[in-house]
Amino acid sequence: MQRIRKRAVNEALVLEALGFVFVSLLIWVNEYLDLPHLVLGAPLTPWRPVEVAIESGFVLLLGAAVTGVSWVTFRRLAYLESLLTLCASCQRVGDEGRWMGFEDFIESRDSTTTTHGMCPDCQTTLGPAFAQAAEAK
């Protein structure tokens, strides 16, 4: 699965919010123009601004809730995509059905090269052995 791009997520959330704003505006246009009367010949209904304000307010609240849930869902999906699947035995990385060494994985993702070093704990534990091996050569 392709990684979710931040710009694509933002665009999706904006389009979702604009959809709810459009529905809210459509409610106002329908109430003002009385579209059923104009299009279908239904009986004329009076202008009720309080009713249309309540209806469009509920639509906008629903839109805020849906957009918020979508935002949380995109964040969770991005978190899940950031996880690496490592083989418990050989420590290879699983990526889109392929298994490769960690160094190969890093190079394929970020176009970076890896280097090796030693953390302070390992240097304390293993450092003397490496120093002795270097002196022996």
* Single pTM value for the model: 0.63
- Phi, psi of 86, deg, nearest 5: -110, 140
Amino acid identity, position 79: Y
User: Is residue 115, in this structure, part of any structural domain at all?
Assistant: no
What are residue 102's phi and psi, to 5 degrees?
-60, -45
The pLDDT score that the predictor gives to residue 137 is: 64
Please list the rounded mean pLDDT of every run of 10 residues in the chain (137 residues). Answer: 73 96 96 92 92 97 98 91 83 85 78 71 77 67
Q: Is 92 exposed, middle or buried (0-12, 13-18, 19+ CB in 10 A)?
A: middle
Would you say residue 41 lies in a domain? yes
Coil, strand or helix at 63: helix
Q: Is residue 67 part of a domain?
A: yes
In a domain, 117, yes or no: no
CA atoms within 13 A on the CB side of 117: 5
Angle at 39 between CA 37 and CA 44, to 5 degrees: 5
Instruction: Confirm whether 137 is domain-assigned.
Output: no
- pLDDT value for 71: 96
In this structure, what token pair is assigned to residue 106? Answer: 């890093």
Long-range contacts of the stretch 74-79 (C-beta < 8 A, 24+): 74/4, 74/9, 74/12, 74/13, 77/4, 78/4, 78/9
pLDDT at residue 3, rounded to an integer? 57
Q: How many domains does the chain have?
A: 1
For residue 1, what pLDDT is reported?
37
Cβ pair 66, 16 in contact under 8 A: yes
Residue 119 belongs to some domain of the structure? no
Domain of 50? 6-83
Residue 17 lies in a domain: yes
Domain contains 35? yes
